Every structure is written in C-alpha cells, then in structure tokens.
Amino acid sequence: MKKLTTTVLAVVLTSSFALVNAQKRDTARTQDIEGVVVTALGIKREKKSLGYATQEVKGEDINKNPTTNFLNNLSGQVSGLDIRQSTNFGGSINITSRGFKSLTGNNQMLFVVDGIPIVNTNVNGGNQLSGGYGYDYGNAASDIDPNNIENINILKGAAAAALYGSRGQNGVILITTKKGKKNKKGLGIEFSSSVTVSSIDKSTFAEYQSEYGQGYNGENSFNGYGQVNGGLSAPFGDDASYGPRYDPNLLVYQWSSAIPESSNYKKATPWVKAKNGPLAFFNTAFNYTNSISLSGGNENGTFRLNYTNNDATDILPNSSLIKNSFSGNASYKLTDKVTANFSANYTTQKTVGRNGTGYNGNIVSNFRQWWPTNVDLLELRDIYNQTQKNYTWNLRSATNTAPAFWNNPYFERYRNYQNDNRDHFSGIASVNYEATKDLNFLVRAGFDNYVLTTEERVANGSYPARIGLATTANQSSGYAVSNYKVGENNLDLIATYKKDISDKFNVTALLGTNLNYQTLYQISQSTSGGLKIPNLFTISNSVAAPALPIMFDTSKQTVGIFGQASLGYDDTFFIDGTIRRDQSTALRDDRNSYYYPSVSASVVFSNLLKQDWLSFGKIRAAYSRVGSDTGPNNLLNQYNAGVPFGANTTYSYNTGAKNDEITPQFLKSTEFGLETMFFKRRLGLDATWFRNDAYNQILPLPVSSTSGVLTKLSNAGNLRTEGFELTATLVPIKTGNFSWTMNANWSNPISKITEISEKTNNILLASLQGNVSINAPLGEKYGQIWGSDYVYAPDGQKIIDETTGAYKVSTTFTNNLGSYQADWFGGLKNTFTYKDLSLSFLIDVKQGGKIFSLDQFYGSGTGLYPDSVGLNDLGNPIRNAVYNTPGDPTSGTVSTPLGGVILPGVIQGPGGTYIANNVRLDKSNSSQILSTDLPTSAFIYDASYVKLREASITYNLPKDLLGLDFIQGMSVSVIGSNLWIIHKNLPFADPEAGLSSGNVQGYQTGPMPTTRNISFNVKVNF
C-alpha cells in the first residue's frame, strides 16, 4: 500500500488545480438553522426541540487528518470536551466532558456507534498507571475507522444521555457511520490515499548543557570505576553529567575503550560533548493510509463496503503499527412497513515496539534524567549493529562491561521489545416496523468485543528488570504474556409514537427496554528467575517454576426499562421527560435496582420576537438524576492463590475489603442554556451554565489495619463540578466567491470535593516516584498534587540552611502544590474559502493547571540541563569549587575563585530573627551527592499551553476540469497537526503528555517528545 500512496500522490500533485464553490444560500428557517441531530438511542430529533446542550462535528473534520487514533482530531473543536493527546506510540487518549463525575472510578466518555455502545476499556496495568513501568496499550475506541464516520454528535450532560443508563453520566460521543446510497450511475467508489511524515518538535525534548561530562563528583569523577590502560578514565557507571569540565586537549578513556570489539578499544579520546546526542536516536516517522469504499443500492435497499489500511512507524527504532479495518452495512426494505439493517466491523491491529512509560524501563527517562552528555548515540548504534550485544555506556567497571543501570538503547529497542495483537469485531442488526404512520417498533441487537494478546521481553544480557508477575523483584531475563477478551452485548426493544395532535401541538412518546451484558477475561503469566535457554521467549523456558497465572473472569448484566415523552407547541415551546429503571447484577439483590429521571425544556423565543436581526433564539433548561452501579466482583471478599510453599498451596486475603451493603451512586445534573443566531446566521452564540453533584459514591475508604485490610468499599462523598461553556460562530466576510468563518469555544469546568467521610479527608488517587502523590482532598479541587515544599519564614521568604546554603525542605510530603485541572480551555478555528480553495487553521488553548516533572526533579541533580551551568554573582562558573570539603562551609573556602551561588532567601539569625542569606551553596558536585536537592514544589509547573493544533489547505478539482465521466470529484489536501507550540511554561516537554488515560494526570516521567505531522492526502470519488 505504500507504493500505491506514493504513486497516487505523485500523479495528483503534478496535476493542475481548480476550485469548488462551497457557498450556500442563507435561510432564516428555524429547521434549516438548527437542523436534525442524532440523540440518545440513535433517535433523530430537531435540534431546536432539545432542552440540553449538544454539539456536532462533521465527519470530514474528523477524517481529513490521517492518524492512528481519530480522537486526536477532536482536540480544540468542542466546548466542554477536555482531550489530552498522547505522545505514546498507539497510546490512549484521555477524554472527559464537563469535569469529573467519579472520585476513583471511570470518568471517560461513553462511545456509541449507530445507537450501540462500544467497548473502550483501557487494559494498562496498575504499575503503568502509577508511573512505575509498563506500556500504554491504547483505547479500543481508536479502532473506529474515521473514514466511515458521517458525523459525531457530543451529548455533554447527563440529561442528554440519561437514556443510556449509568455510563451516560460522563457524556456520550455519538458516532453515525456512512451508509450506502443509490447512485445515478452504477456503483459508487470512494478512494483516499495519504502519507503522513512526523518529526520531533525539539521544544518538547531535553536541551543539554555543553560544558561538563559524565560523573557525579565534579572534577573528582575520573577513575571512579577503574582505569583502562592505567590512564585517565571516565566514570563509566555514573549516569549523570556532573563530572569534569570538557577540554578537547584532554584525552580520556571512555566507555568504548573497554569494549574489545570497538575501534576505540584501549584508546583515549578527546573529552568533549558528543556530536550525536539523544536526538539522533529518533527517526522520522511515517503513516501510510489507504481507504476504499463501495456503495450502491436500488429502491429497496442500499449497501456500503469499506477497507482501510494503516501502516505506521514511530520515531523510536523498531516500531510499527499495522491496522486493517473491514466494514460493511446494508439496509433492505422487506415490505412497505418492515426494514432490516445490518452492519459489521472487523479491525485487526499488530503493534511492535511501543515505548515504555513511567520511571523504570523507559529509554526516554534515561535521556531526560540520567544521561552523560559525552556519550555518542551513533557509536552505541554501531557497536550494537556490529556485535548484537548489550555493550553500553553505563559499565559496571573498566573490566566488567555489564550494564550498571542502563542498557544500550538500541539493544533495548531491538531485543527487549514488546508486541501486541488486537482483533476487534462488532456488529449491529436491527428490524424497524412501521405499524402505522404514527407508531414504530425497533428491535436492535449489537455486540462489540475484542481479543488482545500482549508480549513483553527482557533479553539475556540485559540489566535486571521487573517483568510480568515479578512486580517486586528484578529478573535478569524473562518473558510475560497476557490475553484479554473484552466484550459487550446489547439488545434494545423500542416503541416510538409520534402524533400531531393539532396544527400546533405534537407529541412524541418512547418506551423501551435494554439488556446489557459485559464480560472481561484476562489471564497473565510470566517466567521466574530468568530464561533457561537464552532468548527463547516461552513460559516453559523459565529457570524456576513459573509463577501461578493470574486470571480474571468477570461479567455484569444490567436490565433497563426506560421511557420518554416529548411535547411541542407551535414549533416554539418544548418539554421532555425521561425515566429509567436499571437492575444490575453488580449490586446485592435487595438493592440492585434504581430509578432515575430527567426533565428538560426549551423555548424558541425568536418565533415570538420575530425580528429581522434575530435569525434564531432559544433558551433551554435541563435537570437529571442518574444512578450507577459498581464493577463486577465487588461484593464478596476472596482469597488469592499464591506461590506454593513446598507441596503446600498458599493463599492471601485481599488487602481491600469488599462490601455487599453498597448501594447505587448518583449524579444530579442541572444546566441552563441560551442559543442565538443573528444577521442571517452571520453571528451565533451558544452559552451554557452547568452543575453536577456526584454523591453517595462507591469509594475505598481507609479502615483500621487491625481489621486485616487497609480499605473497605463504602458509600460516601460528593464531587461537585460547575462551569460555563461558550460556543461562538462569526462570518466576518461572505461574498459570492469568498467567505471567512470563525468558530470559537471556551469552557471552565472545575471539580471540587465537597464531602468525603468522617473516616478520612482525602482519597489517594496515586502514589508516584519522587515522593509525589495525586489526591482528592476535602474542600479542594480534584487532582491535587502533593509533595515536599520549601520551608517559609513568617513573611513568606524561603528559609535557607545556614550549614549548607541550600533551601530547607519540609519533612512532610502532604503539601498541597496545586491541581492538574485547567482553569479553562478552548479553541479557535478559522476557515477561508475562495471558489474551490479552502484554508483552515485551529488554535488550541489550555490555561492553568499544574504538572510535576520527574525529569526536571532528577535532571537538575544530574547536571543535564542548561540551568545547571553558568556564571555566579562573582562572574565565576557556578560549578567551580567553593569549600575544601565539598558541601561543608566549615571546612574553609578554596583559594581559587569561588563558584557556587547565594540563593535568595533568609537564614536563622540571633533571637529567632531572620536575616538575608549570605551562605554560598556549593554546586561543584551533584546535589544528590551533597544532599542539597530542591523540594517537589520546585518542579511543579504551570501546564498552560497555546498550540497551532491544525492547519490545512484543500483543492477540489471539479468534474468538468478532469474531463473524465467516471470521476465524480477529486480533492488534494496538505494537512499539518501539532505544528507549533506557540506558548508553554513546562521546559523541554509537552504539558499535554502523560502516562495514559484515566484519573492520574499532572505527572510526567520520561514522556515521548511531541511530533509535528505533515500529511498529503488525495480523495477521489468515482
């Protein structure tokens, strides 16, 4: 398919261009202005009648930018939608609507395709989600082929999604797929081909100082790990750049001088910064996408078939993602009153070489936190290619070439790689019976499931690492495999009645039932003690008896009965009411059913005012109360099988107690809105205020350790979210050939904890490397980052330790350092059209929120970054020596010019007073050696950003210019995404990058750099 893409692009790009007229006539009709949208359960309704906020995104805005996850293309386009794009290869996208609804549970939106909910489970393990080690295996929703999307309607609030049951409380992304149609001439064919080229945005990767090399102990770092040839030797085992100053005239035996196969064996080389730093490790990435669809039909039926192939590589070596998607749908009119519909989708994805995330086993954390700037990446590449061995810069000693801490990065990518295969299949079948012109019956069955296999490796010769079930002990080599089967089945029976009671009064009533069945099966196993036969990656090749596999096999069934009544009067006044009752097997029989209602209303006041300048005006209001259950297997405590002790089986009790007395949790949601359009649709505004209260939540609350457990599931807590959403449209210029359209959106949802429990005033969301935690404390914003802080004098100045000149650091790690929630976020899209030419660009903005950088936390102590060098107040290099004994002011100062710095702040004076600091801080050695590290708060950054998220230019070639009857249309596009981070405050990283989707945000350790992506795209209709 790669050759096909390149060929098509070459042919079209050498063709002439023409332009297409995209203008449409103005109309003031309310139905034309508001239109018809798809709402809950796939029901189409006039938007003017809705009493709640929705927002539509056209399929062409989703599929024009080729990507392995179409959710990236929603960024900045929908008010209230908070999307955190992933920099992980094939990684998961975090997407929430109107803040958070659950303290510890799922806050991700529900995806619904053609009326049927689909699986979007994240199978990432607990270690990965808490920043330890692992891989981000992505969301299953990324398997949706954007080439099949007709449009997306976002149901933002719980009232809009109440008919979907408990999962609809987080908001719903309703996807309507393209359907077949009758063509004027035979079979309709659509073909698109694109190539995307991605390269690193250097502002999101480490920038290194260029004055000092490997070591921790400054000028005294040489020969710390033995000598080669008895000469001056680099400190091979030190993973830092706090060593001696570079001097091109100084010859030093560096790591390759200890490798017999190296051309530098026993040779000293100049002590200089490497020519090829870690940037040289990254490749240019490519994504080839080819899609073809066939459609046709007659008076009785239609069909559509589609095939899409994605063939992508990432910026890391040995990475690939190949995805093949097959889909088809058909509709057939069995009789005048009965229509049958069927659709099926199958996606297979094979991924090799996902990047490691977290602190351990992550090459990028090596580059960002623990790197000697004298090491040349291409030299490491060459020695690996030559020997296929794990010869690395990080030797244990001059005579022991095994890695002290870090593998050769090329060995890591080519020998310790992971791979995964996912097969995703879904199908929908429905029969629609028009009993009368007013009464309709729908029977719809849908299923969605996927099978995922993941494999992870630690090759022989590696630095010992954790893998698989060995979560507490490092393995010298090993293999781990996991298999997942995740599924969901739905059956809907819906009766709909529509009647115009009179010329002005109409009614719509709906009654239905839903049967939902969810399953999750997982089995994981790994070797123990290493691999018996080197690099034979099977469980049976385990040195010791493999650990007992861990298996989960759970299911949950929910039966729902629901109804809806909608009344309209004079095309102006509308009121809706819904009621739903769910019964869930996840709760005890005597408390497993719960009711929840919603009501909404709207008034189209423009029909009352009838002013020429007012094209449309509507006020709306909605209230809902949505109930929800818990996951399966949360009622009864259990014992878990452990490692056998001799011939005896061992069991351990769960550390968190379950509870069969828990009851449903609820969400109360209120919203008020205003929609207006002025001056023949040239200016539009949609404003919403909303409040959500998620109460009686099911939480793991702490209990006395004497009970034998640490937590117990209980009902408690209230999480309140309030905010505004604004969407504006402006057409400053509109002529016969030219138009300029601006679309803007803005939101400020803030979630706060207003109630927890008498037993605790905080819910711990995650405890992370660097003595950092993410929390939900009472009375504060959700997602608070806790850690150590400076110690402050009464007047707010930082107190300095008079014995070292370093800042004093709090002994507690529960200081509140801010929430990762943004103060507000929004987007601005400009679209220009001139005849057949279309140009658009999207600015994406997020203001506020905090983020902790473990890269800066460790990198400041290892001397990587530019702020670790420079001149002090005396004009001397700050890394010059200060005291006879490094870090000890009592040992006396050196005779040479003083280095170090005098930090701003105060020291303890006589009588409990504070005076200005006059003690010089020694910076001649790493702060990790001198115990002068800064607190957590020094590495908390403002997570704001302004991005040029997307820019595109499209030419549409009209049929008459092509001169070919069988070609109905052709377009050529150039699209750029993530082109420019216009503003950010986080150094050397993208503030949007994180570990994965979920509730643990605001934390970075070794994130992949962001890529700038340029796509060339051709679409042809036959």
Q: Encoding tokens for residue 225?
A: 């790990």
List the beta strands (DSSP E) in 757-796.
762-768, 772-777, 784-787
Q: How many CB atoms lie within 10 A of CB 963?
A: 7
In a domain, 192, yes or no: no
Q: How many CB atoms lie within 10 A of CB 691?
A: 14
3-class secondary structure, 559:
strand
What length does the chain have? 1022
Looking at the predicted structure, is the pLDDT value of residue 16 above 50? no
943-984: per-residue pLDDT in tens?
999 999 999 999 988 777 666 667 778 899 999 999 999 999
Residue 18 pLDDT class (50, 70, 90 cuts): very low
In a domain, 220, yes or no: yes
User: What is the spatial distance between Cα 211 and Cα 871, in angstroms, rounded to a whole number?
Assistant: 12
Determine the pLDDT at residue 1022.
80
- Report the share of the chain in percent with pLDDT over 90: 71
- The domain total for the chain is 1
247-259: per-residue pLDDT in tens?
999 999 999 999 9
Lowest mean pLDDT among 200-209, 719-728, 758-767: 758-767
Residue 129 near residue 766 (C-beta atoms within 8 A)? yes
User: What is the spatial distance between Cα 147 and Cα 144, in angstroms, rounded to a whole number?
Assistant: 9
124-162: per-residue pLDDT in tens?
887 888 888 889 999 888 899 988 999 998 888 777 767
In a domain, 36, yes or no: no
In a domain, 403, yes or no: yes
Residue 334 near residue 202 (C-beta atoms within 8 A)? no
Looking at the predicted structure, is the pLDDT value of residue 9 above 70? no
In a domain, 501, yes or no: no
Looking at the predicted structure, is the pLDDT value of residue 928 above 60? yes
Average pLDDT score over the chain: 90
> What one-character-per-residue DSSP string does 590-639 give?
GG-EEEEEEEEEEE-THHHH--TTEEEEEEEEEEEEEEE---SS-SS--E
In a domain, 792, yes or no: no
Q: What is the 3-state secondary structure (H, E, C) of 913-951?
A: CEEECCCCECCCCCHHHHCCCCCHHHHEEECCEEEEEEE
What phi-psi label fits residue 633: left (phi over 0), alpha (psi between -120 and 50 degrees) or beta? left
In a domain, 129, yes or no: no
CA dist list (Å): 848 to 358, 938, 943: 24, 17, 6
Q: Encoding tokens for residue 473?
A: 């002990």
310-358: per-residue pLDDT in tens?
999 999 999 999 999 999 999 999 999 999 999 999 999 999 999 999 8
Determine the pLDDT at residue 741.
95
Determine the pLDDT at residue 35.
67
Residue 402's domain comprises: 205-278+359-412
522-546: per-residue pLDDT in tens?
999 999 999 999 999 999 999 988 8
In a domain, 248, yes or no: yes
Looking at the predicted structure, is the pLDDT value of residue 413 above 70? yes
Determine the pLDDT at residue 871.
96
Looking at the predicted structure, is the pLDDT value of residue 7 above 90? no
